[in-house]
Amino acid sequence: MTCDRFLAALDGIDNEPLPADLAIHARSCRACASESAALRAAIGLYRLPDLAGSSDITPRVTALLPFMPAPRRTVSMRDWIITGFVIVSSIVLVPLLAEFRALKAVYGSGFTLPVFLALGSLVTLYGGLFVMSHLDDFSRRLKAWQIHQHGRAA
Digit-by-digit pLDDT tens for the chain (154 residues) are 788 888 888 877 766 778 888 888 888 888 888 888 888 777 776 666 665 566 677 777 777 777 777 766 677 778 888 988 988 888 888 888 888 888 888 888 787 888 888 888 988 999 898 888 888 888 888 999 998 888 877 6
| Residues 104/111, Cβ–Cβ less than 8 Å | yes
What's this model's pTM, rounded to 2 decimal places? 0.43
Task: Report the C-alpha gap between 78 and 20 in whole angstroms.
Answer: 55
Beta strands in 24-124 (DSSP E): none
